[in-house]
Amino acid sequence: MARRAAARTAPATAAEAAAAVAMPARKRSRRKTPVDLDRVIHERVRLGIVSALASARSLSFNELKDLLDITDGNLSVHARRLEDAGFVACDKAFVDRVPRTEFRLTAAGRKALDEYLGHMEALIRRVREG
């Protein structure tokens, strides 16, 4: 009898089984876990970029680089990842014939940061409550 019940609840096709496995954990379960953290924002440098931009209207490439104490290449790679995710907008211009790159947090980036911080706060509360 148990086998029949299990067979009825199992996905009918391989595609359905793959979709169930690929479904984010937050959709399978109401309780978020550390695994559910937004991987784009969770990385240390990207979290620094998003946090810095959340407190400023915009920051130049050099301002971010100095603030985070990282290399040009490191900032470029992480900023591109955030830009590809739609969390950061990058505006390039010339000021007195000198290239100037400005970054700003998008609405999607602010929402993602708020969700990330809420998730972290929930995890901290759970750890403290034991």
Contact 109, 50 (CB under 8 A): yes
pLDDT band at residue 1, thresholds of 50, 70 and 90? very low
**Given the DSSP bridges, would you call strands 88-95 and 59-60 parallel, antiparallel or unpaired?**
unpaired
Q: Is residue 14 part of a domain?
A: no
**Three-class DSSP category at 89:** strand
- The total domain count for the chain is 1
Residue 112 belongs to what domain range?
Answer: 36-129
Backbone angles phi, psi at 71, to 5 degrees: -80, 165
Q: Is residue 5 part of a domain?
A: no
Q: Is residue 21 part of a domain?
A: no
Chain-centroid distance of CA 58 in Å reads: 19
pLDDT band at residue 34, thresholds of 50, 70 and 90? low
Q: Tokens for 114?
A: 């708020």
Contact 104, 86 (CB under 8 A): no
CATH number of domain containing 80: 1.10.10.10
> Which residues partner with 12 through β-bridges?
none
Q: Is residue 110 part of a domain?
A: yes
pLDDT digits (tens, 9 = 90+) for 82-129: 999 999 999 999 989 999 999 999 999 999 999 999 999 998 998 898
Q: Is residue 22 part of a domain?
A: no
